[in-house]
Amino acid sequence: MRRESLTPSERVMRARMAAYVLHARHDPRETTTAARLAFNKRFVDQVDPDRRLPERERLRRADAARRAYFTRLAYLSARKRRGAGQGSAKGPTARRA
């Protein structure tokens, strides 16, 4: 089947099937190892780009930076949800007069 002949919903369904097959054959922790390492490396690079800190301190600070990152995401998400629920004039659901 050629790619151009698929509808958007068929492409989604085909991708979903492929993901299920992948996860049935492999442990997701194995297939995402490289991505997780790269993601976590950004926090190590942020707190100690020159690698001058002792390993234990570097990892402690990287963990704190990672927690700050996810806490910020949660904070922004909560603000967005609160604003959307109040019919904020800045949101996409705002009505024009």
- 61 by Cβ neighbours in 10 Å (0-12 / 13-18 / 19+) ranks as middle
List the domain boundaries for the chain.
1-31, 34-84
pLDDT at 1 > cutoff 90 = no
Q: What is the pTM of this model?
A: 0.65
Of residues 36, 5, 2, 12, the one with CA closest to residue 20 = 12
User: Over the chain, what is the mean pLDDT?
Assistant: 89
pLDDT at residue 89 greater than cutoff 90: no
Which range (6-20, 26-40, 83-97) has the least confidence? 83-97
Q: Can you tell me the mean pLDDT for 22-48?
A: 95
Q: How confident is the model at residue 97 (pLDDT cuts 50, 70, 90)?
A: very low
Interatomic CA distance for residues 92 and 84, integer angstroms? 8
Residue 2's pLDDT is what?
Answer: 54
What local confidence, expressed as pLDDT, does residue 84 receive?
A: 80
pLDDT tens digits, one per residue of 57-73: 999 999 999 999 999 99
pLDDT of 4 reads 72
